[in-house]
Structure 1
Amino acid sequence: MMEDLNLPFWIYLCIITVLVGGLLKKILASHVSATPTLVAWLGATVLVERLWSFWLPAVLLLALLGLACCLYSAATTPPSALPAQGKAVLITGCDSGFGKAAAKRLDALGFEVFATVLDPTGEGARELQRSCSASLTLLQVDITQPQQVQQALLDTKARLGHKGLWGLVNNAGVCVNFGDVELSLMSTFRGCMEVNFFGTLTVTKCFLPLLRQAKGRLITISSPAGDQPFPCLAAYGASKAALNLFINTLRHELEPWGIQVSTILPSSYKTGHSSNHGYWEQQHKQLLQSLPPALLEDYGEDYVVETKELFHSYARQANPDLSPVIDTIVQALLSPQPQARYFAGPGVGLMYFINTYCPFSISNRFLQKLFVKKKLMPRALRKQSGFDLSLHNNNNNNNNITKEDQQKLPHM
């Protein structure tokens, strides 16, 4: 039978093999859970079975391929991590959350840590001073203030001397909005962009000369909201989308300089104001006071309240253990070959897998069910729906009466 196969078939077969192999490689490198990986393997089995049913059993082929991968993995020794001693790292946003935890971990590993904080007298700064070594340096920096960023650069240079900066961890960020785009204030959009994008841009541009000097690492904590349209997170997501594109562009531009650029995409964690009930209440009160009366009437105060409560519930269910993100930061700093993108925490890899490989209708439904599961419609739509339902019932009643009357009419 193999003699009957012509040259175009073999060319087509080689192309399909390369595509399937590349797809599997991408899936297996995406840190997804076992279930979608198994689905991918089964899908590849079906595809190969269709193409090679008359040549080689696909199950046997995949078994041989899997065995070869296992043997290769066993024979390949992963490169050892780089030493932390003698390396300097600057981390932004260390008052709480990922920044504070990363500063403590990197200091314990032997890094020379420069930790920026908004409030040098706050609890977060005091905790870092109590728990970290004398080599950790606190810098008071609001990343939206270029003069403060420039002063932090001068202070860092004075401390480092002729040594460059091995790592810059862009962690500082804010998520201040909760609500539909139409209900979100313009100040909210500007605030998110000012911190998450322009602030990070300012810090990165200022410290790039030190990174180039050390051929170091640029690591940015971003969010899946920058790649996927989470409902009620438009302001935050838009700022992170701008940040992601900026970092991806830098990855290409800094490659000739020997700088490795990585983006970390965490799942849901309890950081910053996420579990602060008073903060969300204040945001909610400010929103109600700022909305035009006609707009609030169309959506309904109960609709806004439900959104706030859903955010509270989502924040309460967030993971308090930040170690997956901190471990990823360490890996990106010390791995001889860091990845361009890391998924930190459960569910992120699966979410990106569905968004990448599934039809839009499936990925869109998954996203809607994953985050804010609203039950209320805006008030105006509820009124319209009730009116339509009432009108529909009246029409049905009229139709029934007409049929009954028609039955009483004499037959002609």
Structure 2
Amino acid sequence: MDACALSFWIYMGVLSVFVGGTLKKFLASHVSAVPSLVAWLGATLLVERLCAMCMPAVLALAVFCATCWLYSLWSAPPPVLPVEGKAVFITGCDSGFGHATARRLDAMGFQVFATVLDADGEGAKRLRSSCSSRLTLLQVDITQPQQVQQALLNTKAKLGIKGLWALVNNAGVCVNFGDAELSLMSCYRGCMEVNFFGTLCVTKTFLPLLRQNKGRIVTISSPSGEQPFPCLASYGASKAALNLFINTLRHELEPWGVKVSTIFPSAFKTGQSSNTEYWEKQHQCLLQNLSPSLLEEYGEDYVTETKDLFQKFAKSASEDLSPVVNTIVESLLAPQPRVRYYAGPGVGLMYFIYSYFPLSISDKFLQKIFLKKKVVPRALGKQNELNRINDNNNDIISNNNNISRIE
């Protein structure tokens, strides 16, 4: 094989390594990884140009070896902290992310404190039957400060002099669906009570144990707390308040050595999301409590379509919770955990578009992937019909005037 042919094949090998690395970074990327992704693309272009200049075979071989070495370092699994002796407190373990995380962490050897709303429910029974004696089950409603305080006392009694390694704020609710104007005030308060005030109460209560151990706080939030998802105003507002609180806490706890991370999952089947009876109950509650004038302006068909779209979206959500559970584990064991994690299919792309594209494009993207409404509010439909009739009448008058001028 002559030197030219050898250089060509080495060139193809180097290019394949860089292009493969770029694709891997893109598929796993999130917004904070964009600068490194751009740098990797720049390196790919530089190496491609050097190789294309027909460098000598020996030099090309050296570049190929260096590239493979750097790639192996980059793609090596990151170091993790040992599990031994670490205790984790998790809220909302009846089902969903909390339930799956409690089981995973228990299997890994963590000492787990798992809170449930119903100590006699199916979720609690599964935890008792499938987990080790290290797991402690606590019945806690995080909106009740007395229960949160009792959970602290029970946790301290189990831990002894040992501090708490991590708090996983997972408990949350989405108690309604619908336009911001249609959403009931009780729904706004319900979301704030659990998603913000409840999480705030738990976090403040357990902070002394976390500071003692220089531990970490991991909070499950939602993209709807940062992006304007249609018909999720009450839920999104509560998550937005939570995000700001957690982000402020991150700055304040840095001198104490406490690491704070927030996880933004994509759509998954958790809690009541796939419960048809739940959505129907919420739908009927909304119809019964809307003012007659508001219901007349929007129309029952408009409200019903929103319910149907939510059900359809929930059914298409992923049942595999492992992306979020894996991310929680990573945030607990990484020597330097990230401030923000994006877990699940599509959420990284969504944040990329939201961060780097014009709002008009970002808004259209959200509407396309979330709720594709076809029914317009009744009052708007009547107004559009009236405008159409007026436009037709104006066209007829204009045509008659033109005919008169011709005559």
Same fold per superposition (TM over 0.5): yes
Cα deviation for residue 369 of structure 1 reads: 1.4
Partner residue of 2:300? 301
Q: Assess, with a 3 A threshold, how the Cα gap between structure 1 residues 347 and 69 changes in structure 2: closer, same or farther.
A: farther
Structure 1 residue 60 corresponds to structure 2 residue 46: yes
Partner residue of 1:21? none
AA aligned to 1:161 is G
Cα deviation for residue 89 of structure 1 reads: 0.5
Structure 2 matches for 1:381-400, cutoff 5 A? 381-400=380-399
Structure 2 matches for 1:197-346, cutoff 5 A? 197-346=196-345
Partner residue of 1:147? 146
Structure 1 stretches of 4+ with a deviation exceeding 6 A read 42-45, 61-64, 66-70
Cα RMSD for the two superposed structures:
2.7
Partner residue of 2:29? 32
Q: Name the SS of the counterpart of 1:265 in structure 2.
A: strand
TM-score, with length taken from structure 1: 0.84
Structure 2 matches for 1:109-148, cutoff 5 A? 109-148=108-147
Q: Name the SS of the counterpart of 2:181 in structure 1.
A: helix
Alignment partners' CA distance in 2, 1:327 and 1:63: 39
Structure 1 residue 168 corresponds to structure 2 residue 167: yes
Q: Assess, with a 3 A threshold, how the Cα gap between structure 1 residues 70 and 220 changes in structure 2: closer, same or farther.
A: farther
Q: Assess, with a 3 A threshold, how the Cα gap between structure 1 residues 262 and 314 changes in structure 2: closer, same or farther.
A: same
Alignment partners' CA distance in 1, 2:110 and 2:38: 41
Alignment partners' CA distance in 2, 1:44 and 1:130: 50
Cα deviation for residue 406 of structure 1 reads: 2.9
Alignment partners' CA distance in 1, 2:160 and 2:284: 49
Partner residue of 2:179? 180
Q: Assess, with a 3 A threshold, how the Cα gap between structure 1 residues 204 and 358 changes in structure 2: closer, same or farther.
A: same
Alignment partners' CA distance in 1, 2:312 and 2:289: 24
AA aligned to 1:74 is S
Structure 2 matches for 1:350-361, cutoff 5 A? 350-361=349-360
Identity %: 65
Question: Is contact 1:28–1:37 with CA below 8 Å preserved after alignment?
Answer: no
Q: Assess, with a 3 A threshold, how the Cα gap between structure 1 residues 303 and 167 changes in structure 2: closer, same or farther.
A: same
Cα deviation for residue 42 of structure 1 reads: 11
Cα deviation for residue 372 of structure 1 reads: 0.9
Could you report, residue by residue, the CA deviation over 1:120-171 in whole angstroms, capped at 9, with x for unpaired residues?
A: 0011101100111111111010000000000000000001000001110000
Q: Assess, with a 3 A threshold, how the Cα gap between structure 1 residues 207 and 41 changes in structure 2: closer, same or farther.
A: closer
Partner residue of 2:59? none
Cα deviation for residue 401 of structure 1 reads: 2.1
Could you report, residue by residue, the CA deviation over 1:193-243 in whole angstroms, capped at 9, with x for unpaired residues?
A: 110000000000000111111111110000001111101001100110111
Alignment partners' CA distance in 2, 1:207 and 1:73: 42
Alignment partners' CA distance in 1, 2:404 and 2:41: 65
Q: Please, which runs of 5 or more residues in structure 2 have no aligned partner? A: 1-21, 51-62
Q: Please, which runs of 5 or more residues in structure 1 have no aligned partner? A: 1-24, 49-57
AA aligned to 2:29 is V
TM-score, with length taken from structure 2: 0.85
Question: Is contact 1:96–1:272 with CA below 8 Å preserved after alignment?
Answer: yes
Question: Is contact 1:31–1:343 with CA below 8 Å preserved after alignment?
Answer: no
Q: Assess, with a 3 A threshold, how the Cα gap between structure 1 residues 126 and 43 changes in structure 2: closer, same or farther.
A: closer
Cα deviation for residue 81 of structure 1 reads: 1.4
Partner residue of 2:10? none
AA aligned to 2:231 is C
Structure 2 matches for 1:60-139, cutoff 5 A? 60=46, 71-75=69-73, 79-139=78-138
